[in-house]
Amino acid sequence: MSDSATSVAPGPLPEAVAALLRAVLEAIEIPDPATGEDEQVRDAILADRARDAVVALHCLLGDSTGLSTPWNTGYLRRMLAAKPPIGYGTAHDPERGDGEVDR
């Protein structure tokens, strides 16, 4: 990215867009795995959640059905609720990982 692209601060986002971006962040910001085996499970979960986020972003950019941004945000949140990032040990899980606490 060029310096000019990173030095320009965007104005405030419309709340509907900010809400969708928060949902996208929720989709892709999941706990790190504890082991290599856990990493495979996490990668599959993350890929599935990322696909849902991509669909929502396409809708935001007008590349899809023309559904509203709040509707797409709600849909993404419902999809994420149905696919929680569970089923693998995390790096901060004392039972399976190193037990360190985020600082």
Provide the residue ranges of all domains of the chain, joining segments of one domain with +.
13-82
At residue 5, the pLDDT reads: 53
Closest CA to 72 of 84, 50, 83, 57: 57
At residue 79, the pLDDT reads: 96
At residue 6, the pLDDT reads: 60
Mean pLDDT, each 10-residue run in order, the chain (103 residues): 59 91 96 94 97 91 76 95 94 59 30
At residue 100, the pLDDT reads: 40
At residue 92, the pLDDT reads: 80
How far apart CA 57 and CA 25 sit, in angstroms, is: 11
Q: Which residues pair with 33 in a beta bridge?
A: 90
User: Rounded to two decimals, what is the model's pTM?
Assistant: 0.76
At residue 21, the pLDDT reads: 95
